[in-house]
Each structure stands twice: as C-alpha cells, then as structure tokens.
Amino acid sequence: MTKASNRFLSIILASILGLNLCPVAARSEDNSKKAQVNAAIDNAFISFKKQKRLSFDPSLENELKRAYQERILNLNPSNFANPTAASHLIDKYSKEDGVKEILSEWLKSTEQSWDEIYSIDEELFMKIYFGSKDPNVHPMFSENMANKYATLVVEPEPNTLKASIYLDGAFVCVTSECPNGVRIASDRVYSLLVRAEGFPHLTKKIVLSKRERKAVKYDPSLLK
C-alpha cells in the first residue's frame, strides 16, 4: 500500500472516529451541565432555608427543584428577542445566587393577597423574557395557577425546646432552624409528627388551604 493510500485511510478513519465521538462528547457536556445546574439548585435551597429560617416539605421541595431544572435546561437563547441578553440571564439563573433570587421572588408571590400565582419555573421564565425585553412575552405565558402553597409553623413550649418535625415520615427540620415555618402543598393531607428526645410525641393529620398559615403548638406537658 502506498504512502498516499495510507494517508487517505488515516483521514477516513479519523473522520469516522470524529463522527462517532461527537455525540459522546455532546452527551458528556450535557451531563456535566445538568450536574452543575443540579448542584446550584441544591446549594441554593440549602443556603436559602438557612438564611430565611424556614423549610419545605421534602416532596414539595423536590417538585420545585425538578420544575426549575427542567425549565432552565430547556431554555434556548435563540428563542428570545435578544439572544445575547437571554443567554446572559440563563447563565445567571443557572448558578446558585440566581436560583436563590428566583426562589425568593417566587415565595414572595405566594404570600401576596391574591389567590393565583405563577409556578416557580414560570417565575424564572418571566424573569428572562422581561430581562431580554421580548415584545411577545405575554402570549407565551400559560394561565396563572391557583396558590397551592401554605405555611405550617410548629411552636414548641417552651420555645427553647428543640423538637424535630416530620411530614409523612420524612424528617423536615428542627424547630429552632425553621421558626418562620415549613412551606407545604395546600389541600394535601399530611401526617405530622413532632418529637423531642425524652418527651411525648405529637402526631396529627393536617390539611391547609391555599396560602393558609397555621401554627401548631407542641407542649409535651399537655401530652402526658
């Protein structure tokens, strides 16, 4: 075989390998981006809960994280009126501080006097569309959804008592870490368990409606 033939075969082989490796590299890049976004979302929730001294029903928190992740990973700058601005905003809200900003604004909306809000992923969607100054923003929104997020506050007596809160068997937080309450889904029946070491447990079923805020007293002396 001539040197020219060898070079030709080498070029063909390199092309084939390159074509085969491209999808693998793309998948690897997608997986890496997804992992980075997931880490940013997880860290944002941890930091936000600590800063605001509140918590979430674990199943609700997972729903919010999943909705945010799906939205941010599927946004394409080319679909916006100003792709450059949109790209910058998508990158911003893929990071921890950006996720915390959206989470904070979304939670504020759930505490307003009206009964309808946007979901957390639409809060993100709106932020980027308005930020990119897209003139076609309004027709692209889906209808508002009913406010289905309530707040449960467990108040131990005495207030220095550190009690653990469980919802449907899953640990949520210690009362001293979330004095501003636990965000839960409204119109959902929860099994609440509150307990402190060495004291009687409190167990009860709870259901909150819309943006209701309900305080539950935990006084072990009344449970004897």
What does 60-73 look like in DSSP terms, one character per residue?
HHHHHHHHHHHHHH
Same domain, 47 and 70: yes
| Boundary (domain end) residue, out of 95, 113, 146 | 146
What is the block-wise mean pLDDT of the chain (224 residues), using blocks of 10 residues?
Answer: 54 52 59 92 97 95 96 91 92 97 91 75 87 60 69 93 95 96 94 94 94 92 82
16 within a domain of the structure (yes/no): no
For 86, the 3-state DSSP assignment is: helix
Please identify which residue in the block is written with the tokens 């990973």.
73
205 within a domain of the structure (yes/no): yes
86 within a domain of the structure (yes/no): yes
pTM, two decimals, is 0.80
Task: With CA atoms as reference, report the closest residue to 151 among 121, 108, 114.
Answer: 108
Same domain, 121 and 190: no
188 within a domain of the structure (yes/no): yes
Tell me what pLDDT residue 81 has: 83
3 within a domain of the structure (yes/no): no
Torsions phi, psi of 6, nearest 5? -60, -40
Same domain, 158 and 115: no
| Boundary (domain end) residue, out of 146, 180, 206 | 146
What would the pLDDT profile of 26-53 be if each residue is shown by its tens digit? 566 678 889 999 999 999 999 999 999 9
Same domain, 62 and 129: yes
Give CA–CA dist 142/10, Å, rounded: 54
Same domain, 190 and 96: no
Same domain, 140 and 176: no
Same domain, 86 and 174: no
Same domain, 158 and 112: no
- The tally of domains found in the chain comes to 2
169 within a domain of the structure (yes/no): yes
* Structural domain range at position 45: 31-146
| Boundary (domain end) residue, out of 102, 129, 146 | 146
Same domain, 126 and 47: yes
What would the pLDDT profile of 69-92 be if each residue is shown by its tens digit? 999 999 999 888 889 999 999 999
Burial of 174 (C-beta count, 10 Å sphere; 0-12/13-18/19+): middle
Torsions phi, psi of 216, nearest 5? -115, 120
Tell me what pLDDT residue 13 has: 46
Same domain, 142 and 37: yes
Same domain, 58 and 139: yes
Q: How many CA atoms lie within 13 A of 112 on its CB side?
A: 13
109 within a domain of the structure (yes/no): yes
20 within a domain of the structure (yes/no): no
